[in-house]
Homo-oligomer: A and B are copies of this chain.
Amino acid sequence: MAVKGIILADRVRGDKGLVLDPLTRKIYLELTVPGPEDNRGDVDRLVDALQPELEGTVTVPLELMFGLSAVLREGDWRVTATVGGMVPGVWNLVTVEPGDTTSRHFGLAVDIGTTTVVVYLVDMHDGRVLGTAADYNGQVVFGEDVLTRIYLSATPEGLRQLQEAVVQTLNGLIERLAAEHNILPAEISAVAVGANSTMVHLFLGLDPSRICMAPYIPVVNNPGLVPAGKLGLAVNPLAPVYCLPSVGSYLGGDIIGGVLASGMHRSPELSLFVDIGTNGEIVMGNRDWLVGCAGAAGPALEGGVVANGMRAEPGAVDSVSIDARTGQVHYTTIGGAPPAGICGSGLVDCLAEMLLAGIIDRAGRFKNGQREFVVVPARDSATGKDIVVTQVDIHNFMRTKGAVNAALELLVESVGCQLGDIRRFYAAGAFGHYLHLESAITIGLYPDLPREKMIRLGNASGEGARLVLLSGQKRREAESIARNITYFELNASQVFMNKFVGSKFLPHTNLDYFPTVKEKLMKRGLFAS
C-alpha cells in the first residue's frame, strides 16, 4: 500500500546558498587513443585522465576493471566517469559510461521512518526533486514499534529479515520512481539516508540490541559510506550510501538532518527544534552550541494506544473544532472519507477544543464526570460505533506532553537560559507538519511563541538527506552538528522525573509560560488570574 509523501523543508525555506558538490560527480573525458607510443593500461589511462579533474587520488574497484575495456572502446575513448568521494582527497570510481552522459545524473534522498519510508529522486545537476514516493516500512509486518523489531533482530535470521524488508520497500519505491522518470535504477549513483539510529542499524544489517540497554551504546553513529550493493539496494551497486550521523542511540541521523535543514546551527538566534513522532526529540541552540535530548513520546499520539486512534490515513479525523456555546463538533477527515478513527492532529485539536470549551479542566479531567467525549456519533462513522476520546486517552496524552515539557525545561535550565529567550521554533516530522499550531500551543505541546517565529519543516529528515546528497559542505556541517550536540540522557536524570511530575496541567503547571493560552482561557472565564 502506498502512503502520501510529505513535502520537503526546502519548499518552505528554499535552497539559497547551497553550493552543489554532490556525493558523486560525473566527468566527461576524451581519452587519448592508445598506440605503440602510448600503451598504458585501460584503467591507468582513465585514472591519468581523471586525476587532474579531481583533487586527490582516484581508486578503481576491481568490479569496474572487468568491463572497463569494452566501455572505453564502445565510446571510442570518449566516456563519462562517475566518481564518489570516499574520504576527503580520495575518489572512488562508481561507473563509466560510453559517450557524454553528464546530463543524466541522479541521486536519492531517503527518509526511513519506523512507520513510513519516503524516497526523493534528485537531479544532481540543480538539486531539484524530480519525484517523490512513499510507502510503509516493510518492517511494520514484523512489529509496529521499534522495541519489537529490536527484539526480533536478536537472531541473525530476524536481523536479516528486517534488513531485507526495508530494502525491499526502498527497492519498490526506487523502481516506481525510476519508471516514472524514465531512468534506469542503475543510473542512480548516490544515496543519502536520514533515519533514527535503530533504523540505520537495521538498514545496514547491524545488531541494534544495545540501543535499548544501558548505557545505550549503538554499534555505530557515523557509518561513513557503504556501497549500495552491500545492502542490496537496487541502484548502482557501487553508489555510495551516506547515512546522516547519529549523536547516540536516541538522537539519530533523522534529527541531525532536521537540524541541518532548519539551519539553526548557523544562526546567532536561539532556536528550538522539536520532532514528535514515535519518539520525541528536542534540540536547542544556536551557531555556538547545541543541546539535545530524546524520549519515548509516540504511543499517546498514534494509533494503537488511543482508544479510537488510527494512522493518518483516509478516514482519519484530522481536525476538530467544538462550538463552546452549543457543544457542536465539526471535524474533517483525511481524503473526506467516512470517519473511521482519529489521528494525532485530530486528537490534539480535540483536546485543545475541549479545554477551550470548558469540557475538560486544566488537569485534563472531564468536568461533568463523563468518561469519554464523542467526536463522531455512531450514525456518522464508518465503523458503526462512536468515535470517542476517553479519559484514559487524555491522561496518556498528558504524560507525553509532560515529558516534552520536562525535557524542554531541562534543556533550558541546563544552559542557563529561559523559555522566553527562544527566538525560533521548528516543528519537524509528519506529525509536526499536519498538527495545528494553535491547538498544539493551547495544550502545551509547543511553546507559546510569536506565531511568525514558528516554522513547520515538513520532512526535515528527508530534506537533510537531500542536502548531504548534494553538498560536501552540508555533510561536514551534519558531522559537526552530531559531534557538537551535548546530549542529555533523560532516562538517567532525576531532574527530568521531577519536572515530569510537575507537568500535570494543560497547557502547563505554570500558565505564565503560555501567555496567549492564558489570555484565551481568561477571556472564556475558564481561568481567573
Contact = CB atoms under 8 A, between A and B. Distances in A.
Interface of A: 34-36, 39-44, 57, 59-60, 62-63, 65-66, 68-69, 86-90, 204-207, 210, 214-226, 230, 246, 248-249, 487, 489, 492
Contacts of A41: 217-222, 246, 248
Given A42-B217, A43-B221, A44-B222, 13 more contacts: A36-B492, A39-B216, A39-B249, A40-B217, A41-B217, A41-B219, A41-B222, A42-B218, A60-B224, A62-B223, A66-B207, A69-B210, A69-B219
Contacts of A42: 217-220
Nearest to A33: B215
Nearest to A205: B66
A59 B224 contact: yes
A223 B43 contact: yes
A219 B34 contact: no
A366 to B, nearest CB: 41
Contact of A86 (B36, B59, B487): B59
A168 to B, nearest CB: 19
A230 B39 contact: no
A492 B37 CA distance: 10
Nearest to A47: B222
5 contacts: A39-B489, A42-B219, A43-B223, A62-B204, A62-B223
B59 A206 contact: no
A291 to B, nearest CB: 15
- Residue from the set A35, A41, A63 with the largest chain B CB neighbour count within 10 Å: A41
Copies in the assembly, this chain: 2
A238 to B, nearest CB: 13
Nearest to A44: B221
Nearest to A45: B217
A64 B483 CA distance: 23
Contacts of A220: 41-44, 60, 65
Nearest to A224: B59
A283 to B, nearest CB: 17
10 interchain residue pairs of minimum CB distance: A43-B220, A41-B221, A57-B87, A41-B218, A41-B220, A34-B217, A39-B248, A44-B221, A62-B226, A36-B492
Contacts of A223: 43, 60, 62, 65
B206 A489 contact: no
Contacts of A224: 59-60
Contact of A66 (B90, B206, B221): B206
A206 B60 CA distance: 13
A406 to B, nearest CB: 18
B89 A89 contact: yes
A65 B223 CA distance: 9
Contact of A36 (B89, B207, B210, B489): B489
A359 to B, nearest CB: 43
Contacts of A225: 59
A382 B216 CA distance: 76
A242 to B, nearest CB: 13
Contacts of A35: 215
A63 B206 CA distance: 10
Nearest to A57: B87
A215 B36 contact: yes
Nearest to A66: B206
Contacts of A205: 62, 66
Nearest to A221: B41
Nearest to A197: B41
Contacts of A219: 41-43, 65, 68-69
A69 B215 contact: no
A60 B139 CA distance: 27
A11 B45 CA distance: 38
A157 to B, nearest CB: 14
A331 to B, nearest CB: 44
A59 B87 contact: yes
A348 B81 CA distance: 52
A36 B66 CA distance: 49
A260 B68 CA distance: 30
Contacts of A215: 34-36, 39
